Amino acid sequence: MVNDNQDFGWTPERGYTSQDTSLNMSGELTGYQRPMVMGIMNVTDNSFYPGSRIQGEDAIRHRVEQIIAEGGDIVDIGACSTRPGSTPPTVEEELERLRMAVSVTRSVKEDFPISIDTYRASVADSLLEEFSVEIINDVSAGEMDPDMFDVVAKWRVPYILTHIQGTPLDMQADPRYDDVVAEIIDFFSERIDRLTSLGLADLIIDPGFGFGKTIDHNYTLLKNLAAFRVLGCPILAGLSRKSMLYRLLGITPEEALPATQSVDTIALLNGADMLRVHDVLPAAQAVSIHMAYSRQPNFM
């Protein structure tokens, strides 16, 4: 699906305006007049960045409070690591972790938007039924569980489609593309058509930085992020502390916050509508600076 008429508030000439992204969450239309910040909370013990591993109710509560206090718009809760080569937990293990994390999050602030990071349709269905979570974030865009599209269409929930080549177990073995931007646009176009035919309107696309891409593929996508606006969907950029940063610089994920701030800023300038981050405050500050910058006139 290509929507040439839809305006999500961004152009290279004028940045963001008041015509921005709106999502139907829990039956209410929520509008955003600036890019959104999604704070990551991984209730796992094997996520690639140790600082994102949150264990126990007290730690979950503190993390949710931190995301809210630092200016986050959404918390993205994951219980199944998608780091390259990772082995997934069972469905029961994933559900147990997520139920506890969502319950604690609701107790902190009942109406704070929750995104569930899962590629399993049964997990998404259970969390939607039990907690009315606001967003499903699927790292495989329905590739790893063919029932996912039917589930998100049934619940009419905002759905994040992430591009991945392969699976988390093998995605970084030997990623290849003839034209990485064009191929991923085609990937999304086909899936957007299928989802809209099922009646789903609130779709967000994530090019999948680090998911079946070389370092060069990742930077090609970042430089050409605005090309994805032809699809007529908000764009999520998930760049936080990823290997495209720390391997390029010869550092560790723990040392990659300054690099994350750099690429998040580039993503905003190139049209990102949402940043998915481990460190909420720097991202929220980057959005504020970007908004001030984008509002200024161009005399060139």
Active site residues: 242, 276
For the chain, give percent helix, strand, coil, nearest 5. 40, 15, 40
Tokens 């005399």 sit on residue: 299
In the chain, which ranges are continuous DSSP H helix?
57-69, 91-108, 121-131, 148-155, 180-197, 215-223, 243-249, 257-269, 280-294
Chain length of the chain: 300
Task: List all residues 6 or more positions away from 216 whose beta carbon is below 8 Å from its beta carbon.
Answer: none
Neighbour count for residue 27 (Cβ, 10 Å): 7
Nearest Cα residue to 155 out of 119, 139, 189, 131: 131
Cα–Cα–Cα angle for 136, 285, 259, nearest 5°? 80
First to last CA, the chain: 35
Tokens 């690639």 sit on residue: 48
**Cβ-contact 143, 164 below 8 angstroms:** yes
Tokens 């319950």 sit on residue: 103
Tokens 């219980």 sit on residue: 79
Cα–Cα–Cα angle for 105, 107, 110, nearest 5°? 80
20 vs 99: CA distance, rounded Å:
32
**Cβ-contact 79, 43 below 8 angstroms:** yes
